[in-house]
A and B are shown apart, each in its own frame.
Chain A
Amino acid sequence: MSEPTWGLWGSWDDTQAMLGKQIGQSRGPDPVEQGSIRRWLEPKEFACEIHTDAAAAEAAGYDDLVAPASMVFTYAIAAYWQPGDAPARIDDEPTQIQIPVIFDVPAPCDKSFATSIEVEFFAPLYPGDEVTCTSKLVDIKHKELKVGKGAFLRQEDTYTKQTGEVVAVSYLDIFRFVAADQEAK
């Protein structure tokens, strides 16, 4: 197994050139359905009938059984394998969650971590809905932290249904950097 990488390499000019642009798009392979909702509730010991029973959801003012609001992220994650993909090999780099601001935006940094996320919800997700996430780089703030020198990159993610309706918009802040002890070498 090779080591996972923590970001696409490039210059700060390369980073700047991506500002305001679309940096990624992912479409979930599966529509919203009851089984995936139940499996999501399970490890959280989350009991609420609007997520498991259509009649209870309708009594609470929904059109149908409704997915938890924060499941929107899950329904937009692309498949880890699909027909047509190359067979896996033991020395392949492991697949990490695809965060475009880390893996598709070049920066002179080899490490990264998420610092903050916020999400606003605009529409409920019902069985049969399919979710696409479109990502944009909306801010770059250079900063030196204790861990090293780098920049906060802000990714705006717009989640839409198959109808084009916006379900949610989130902002994710990622600090991309070179570790302080590496820089001195």
Chain B
Amino acid sequence: MHIGDVEAGAQLPVVALPITLQRLVIEAGANRDFSLIHHDASVARATGAPDAFANTYFLMGMFERLMRDWAGPRARIRKIGPLRMMIFNAVGDTVQFKGMVEAVDPVAGTVNLDMWVESARGKTVTAKAILELEG
């Protein structure tokens, strides 16, 4: 994708993913965050969560996928965040990663994105990002 092809307000194609305990376990093994709240329902519930829930690195990585699916291989990811977690993304939830172009700077070649996660629980996470695109 080229910077000239992008306009503020454009929507990124939605990425949906079901959160199962198996997926959380595969993810924990891959991203190395073995904190119990992310794979042990009883520990997660003791902290007030409905079940084991997605960790920060999982969410970061999914936002990276959302951007990469849209912007293609030549885009450079400059910044992700602030990423804010408001509601748990727990086992049994199907989460949808969504985003839109907030601003385009054709001189710098950068695009500011506004992204978020939705599930049946509501808007669970928000994240900003800055991408650099080709001229």
Q: A69-B64, A94-B36 are in contact. Are A115 and B57 (CB under 8 A)?
A: no
Asked whether, in the complex, the Cβ of B82 is within 8 Å of the Cβ of A48, the reply is no
Alpha-carbon gap, A70 to B66, bound state (A):
13
Q: Which of the candidate stretches B24-32, B106-114, B116-124 sits at the interface with the other chain?
A: B24-32
The 6 closest A-B pairs by CB, nearest first: A118-B81, A60-B73, A43-B27, A43-B26, A70-B60, A77-B32
Contact of B81 among A49, A97, A119 (CB under 8 A): A119
List, in ascending order, chain B residues with CB within 8 A of A42's CB. 26, 30
CB contact list, A82-133 vs B, under 8 A: 94-97, 114-121
A-B contact pairs, 19 of them (CB 8 A): A39-B26, A39-B29, A40-B30, A40-B61, A46-B61, A46-B64, A50-B73, A60-B74, A69-B77, A70-B63, A74-B30, A77-B32, A95-B34, A96-B36, A114-B85, A116-B81, A116-B85, A117-B56, A121-B77
> Main secondary structure on chain A at its contact with chain B?
mixed
List, in ascending order, chain A residues with CB within 8 A of B26's CB. 39, 42-43
Asked whether, in the complex, the Cβ of B30 is within 8 Å of the Cβ of A36, the reply is yes
Interface string of B13-50 (1 = CB under 8 A from A): 00001000001001101111111100000010000000
List, in ascending order, chain B residues with CB within 8 A of A56's CB. 73
Interface size on A, residues (CB 8 A): 39
Return A99 CB to nearest CB of chain B, in Å.
9
Return B41 CB to nearest CB of chain A, in Å.
14
Interface string of B53-65 (1 = CB under 8 A from A): 0001110111111
Contact of B80 among A60, A61, A70, A80 (CB under 8 A): A70
